[in-house]
């Protein structure tokens, strides 16, 4: 006899489960319950309605209940909130939000994919009509009509994660000209990125007119303004809260289903809860982090869809392995793309991994090609095994391709040696013969095997304060357009004739524009018997990007004579 499968939630995890069940069983009765008015919409595209990149909000809805019925014989019931699970009789209680009537529906198998809801802290003004969150099409339409009807000119976005950053970006890109502030409690936006890489994102945001307020939190929402915890008053006729999401676990909790240590619904490797007939997937569950070996939460669309497929397969006895998650994500921000996977250096530190990292910025294409740009790439690996732990990439080019290669490597337990040997495609308009990831592996191996030593971009300010001996290995004309305040210009093309200027009784730190020329000088000096020479990772471009945001937002002295971001 065929199953009756009920699904709670009609978007990423819910719709994917329902569709997979149909593919596995033409005779199953499949009903999907969604408390909102839409199923199957693109949550991830919601912010792009604010800028008009997605002009028509109806386009955000990918499929309607009729299409589900006609194409897949799946009944998608919208405006229906599941309010209770009655496990002993295997029914759910549903409230029709249009009529307020309730009814019960029986199931053989139940799948929960209710997602996660935006966190709203209990602050003064939080329930004002000008305070919004972004979760669905209705939310984004509400924001748009409020902003337009009230001719809003100042918007405060609270929270510098994916959603906050995308919302801020899209408001700035809109043609209705609004001032946008973004308030973030931490000292950086976008937690998957290390502090050094985040500085590149900070520059991009301030360069595009976002008033970025870090190390500060929302305190009060007033009439036309917000107040931060540090006492700053910021003009805001509209406020968008994006400080994180909380797994929707009320239904599960009410039914006595187990909640895990992260506060999300606990499932086994087949996405089964502690009830053999109830599965749970998506943002509402906790998943296993394969590198940290512990439960975590990961609110991303790709994992939700994979979990949905695995849960449906398990219902029908189809085995699927569960590798756990590593956390791969990407974001587009103004003129930059950014992507990350696995552990960043901060996470590796916290988890007690002995690790190091390389920060390189090779061209994303052959340099003479149009649209060739540096790609800032940070690769984190375990010492001494060289096992790849994670990577972050930021640039104008295809960062996602590079990060996806690293995600594959991590999943296959790859090392720097494996990455170095990886045979990747190449054409000058698309990449370089030695791809960014191969390049990073080579640099990592040189470091790992002790062929040279380096200092990180975050250590340069201290070196300057100590009056360290710093060589700028760029050509004279490059040096003249801006340099570190007490560096000495000895170009790579001249240093062999100027060895008498390079001391061998004290540490010598060398940089150029991107680290390539300085690396060559470091190696040559080592071969000439210098013991104490260090490459400055990130070099002049990396130093400028690392220093810039803090320079312009604090009253500290800058350590460069002129910025140069090229
Ligand atoms: C603005 C935004 C941008 C995003 N960008 C990205 C991105 O770029 N990349 C990425 O990977 N991920 C992104 N995400 C995250 C991604 O959308 C989620 O991880 C994914 O949608 C989770 O799927 P889900 O099925 O668990 O939850 P959802 O897709 O949120 O679906 C859950 C649905 O269940 C419904 N529901 C809840 N409780 C009940 C109930 N009791 N009865 C009936 N219905 C109920 C809700 O109304 C909701 O529509 C973004 C999310 C948002 C909000």
Phi then psi dihedrals of residue 91, to 5 deg: -130, 165
Q: Other C-beta atoms within 10 Å of 436: how many?
A: 29
User: Residue 1's pLDDT is what?
Assistant: 55
Provide φ and ψ at 213, rounded to 5°.
-115, 105
HSE of 529, CA atoms in CB hemisphere, 13 A: 4
Ligand 1 pocket test, pick from 10, 50, 65, 115 with the greatest ligand atom count within 8 Å of Cβ, gives 115
Cα–Cα distances in Å, from 46 out to 121, 321, 378?
23, 32, 30
Ligand 1 pocket mutation, candidates 6, 7, 8, 9, criterion most atoms within 8 A of CB:
9
- Going from the C-alpha of 326 to that of each of 297, 406, 453, the distances in angstroms are 11, 11, 29
Nearest-10 crossing angle of helices 12-24, 65-72: 20
304: Cβ below 6 Å to ligand 1?
yes
70: tokens are: 């006609």
How many angstroms from the chain centroid is the CA of residue 454?
Answer: 28
Answer yes or no: are the C-beta atoms of 106 and 91 closer than 8 Å: yes
Residue 346 in contact with residue 353, Cβ under 8 Å?
no
User: DSSP H helical segments within 366-487, as ranges?
Assistant: 399-411, 416-421, 436-448, 460-465, 476-480
The reply to whether omega before 255 is within 30° of 0 (cis) is no
Report CA(396)–ligand 1 centroid distance (Å). 28
How far is residue 140's CA from residue 147's CA, in Å, rounded to a whole number? 11
Q: Are 281 and 304 in contact (CB under 8 A)?
A: yes
Gap from CA of 223 to ligand 1 centroid (Å):
31
114 lines ligand 1 (CB under 6 A): yes
Quick one: CA dihedral 435, 410, 377, 470, positive or negative?
negative
Distance 40 CA to ligand 1 centre (A): 10
Residue 253 Cα to ligand 1 midpoint, Å, equals 19
Residue 374 contacts residue 362 (beta carbons within 8 Å): yes
Q: Provide the residue count of the chain.
A: 566
Q: How many CA atoms lie within 13 A of 542 on its CB side?
A: 31
Is pTM beyond 0.85? Reply is: yes
Residue at token pair 């029986």: 106
Cβ–ligand 1 distance for 189 under 6 Å, the answer no
pLDDT confidence of residue 2: 80
Nearest atom in ligand 1 to the alpha carbon of residue 83 is 41
- 384 C-alpha to ligand 1 centroid (Å): 40
**Pocket-testing residue among 161, 300, 308, 329, ligand 1, by greatest number of atoms within 8 A of Cβ:** 300
DSSP assignment string, 93-138: EEEETTT--EEEEE-SEEEE---EEE-----BTTTSTTEEE-SSHH
| C-alpha of residue 315 to centroid of ligand 1, in Å | 23
Instruction: Spell out the per-residue pLDDT of the chain, length 566, in tens.
Output: 589 999 999 999 999 999 999 999 999 999 999 999 999 999 999 999 999 999 999 999 999 999 999 999 999 999 999 999 999 999 999 999 999 999 999 999 999 999 999 999 999 999 999 999 999 999 999 999 999 999 999 999 999 999 999 999 999 999 999 999 999 999 999 999 999 999 999 999 999 999 999 999 999 999 999 999 999 999 999 999 999 999 999 999 999 999 999 999 999 999 999 999 999 999 999 999 999 999 999 999 999 999 999 999 999 999 989 999 999 999 999 999 999 999 999 999 999 999 999 999 999 999 999 999 999 999 999 999 999 999 999 999 999 999 999 999 999 999 999 999 999 999 999 999 999 999 999 999 999 999 999 999 999 999 999 999 999 999 999 999 999 998 999 999 999 999 999 999 999 999 999 999 999 999 999 999 999 999 999 999 999 999 999 999 999 999 999 999 98
Ligand 1 pocket mutation pick from 283, 332, 399 by most atoms within 8 angstroms of CB: 283
Calpha distance 314→323 (Å, rounded): 15
DSSP-derived secondary structure for 136-185? SHHHHHHHHHHHHHTT--EEEEE--SHHHHHHHHHHHHSTT--EEEEE-S
Distance 71 CA to ligand 1 centre (A): 23
Helices (H), 335-492: 345-350, 399-411, 416-421, 436-448, 460-465, 476-480
């Amino acid at each position: 006899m065929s199953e009756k499968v009920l699904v709670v939630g009609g978007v990423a995890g819910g719709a994917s489960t329902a569709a997979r069940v149909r593919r596995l069983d033409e005779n199953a009765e499949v009903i999907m319950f969604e408390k909102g008015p839409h199923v199957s919409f693109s949550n991830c595209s919601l912010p792009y309605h604010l800028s008009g990149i997605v002009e028509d909000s109806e386009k955000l809805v990918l499929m309607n209940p009729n299409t589900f019925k006609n194409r897949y014989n799946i009944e998608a019931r919208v405006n229906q909130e599941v309010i209770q699970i009655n496990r002993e009789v295997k029914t759910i209680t549903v409230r029709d939000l249009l009529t307020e009537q309730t009814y019960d529906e029986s199931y053989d198998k139940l799948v929960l994919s209710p997602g996660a809801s935006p966190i709203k802290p209990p602050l003064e003004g939080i329930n004002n009509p000008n305070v919004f969150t972004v979760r669905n099409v209705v939310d984004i339409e509400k924001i748009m009509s409020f902003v337009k009807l009230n001719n809003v000119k100042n918007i405060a976005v609270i929270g510098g994660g994916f959603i906050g950053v995308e919302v801020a970006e899209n408001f700035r890109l809109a043609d209705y000209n609004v001032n946008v502030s973004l308030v973030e409690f931490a000292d950086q936006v976008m937690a998957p990125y290390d502090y050094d890489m985040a500085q590149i994102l900070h520059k991009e945001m301030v360069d595009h007119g976002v008033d970025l307020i870090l190390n500060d939190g929302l305190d009060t929402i007033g009439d036309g303004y917000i107040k931060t915890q540090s006492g700053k008053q910021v003009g805001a006729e509209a406020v968008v809260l994006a400080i994180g999401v909380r797994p929707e676990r009320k239904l599960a909790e009410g039914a006595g289903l187990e909640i895990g240590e992260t506060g999300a619904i606990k499932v086994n490797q087949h996405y089964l809860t502690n009830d053999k007939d109830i599965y749970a997937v998506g943002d509402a569950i906790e998943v296993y982090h394969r590198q940290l070996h512990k439960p975590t939460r990961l609110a991303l669309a790709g994992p939700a869809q994979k979990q949905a497929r695995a849960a449906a397969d398990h219902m029908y006895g189809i085995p699927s392995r569960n590798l756990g998650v590593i956390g791969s994500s990407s974001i587009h921000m103004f003129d930059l793309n950014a992507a990350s996977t696995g552990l960043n250096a901060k996470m590796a530190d916290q988890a007690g991994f002995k690790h190091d990292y390389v920060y390189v910025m090779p061209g994303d294409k052959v340099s003479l090609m149009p649209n060739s740009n540096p790609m800032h790439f940070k690769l984190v690996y375990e010492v001494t095994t060289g096992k790849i732990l994670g990577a972050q990439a930021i640039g104008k080019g295809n960062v996602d391709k590079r990060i996806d290669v690293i995600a594959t490597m991590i999943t296959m337990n790859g090392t720097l040696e494996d990455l170095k040997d990886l045979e990747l495609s190449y054409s000058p308009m698309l990449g370089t013969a030695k791809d960014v990831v191969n390049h990073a592996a080579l640099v990592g191996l040189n470091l790992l095997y002790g062929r040279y030593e380096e200092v990180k971009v975050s250590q340069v300010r201290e070196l300057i304060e100590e009056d360290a001996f710093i060589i700028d290995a760029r050509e004279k004309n490059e040096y003249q357009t801006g340099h570190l305040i007490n560096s000495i210009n000895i170009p790579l093309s001249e240093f062999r004739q100027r060895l008498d200027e390079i001391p061998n009784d004290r540490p010598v730190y060398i940089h150029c524009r991107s680290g390539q020329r300085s690396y060559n000088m470091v190696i040559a000096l080592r071969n000439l018997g210098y013991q104490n020479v260090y490459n400055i990772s990130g070099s002049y471009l990396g130093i400028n990007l690392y220093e810039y945001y803090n320079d312009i937002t604090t009253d500290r002295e800058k350590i460069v004579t002129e910025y140069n971001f090229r």
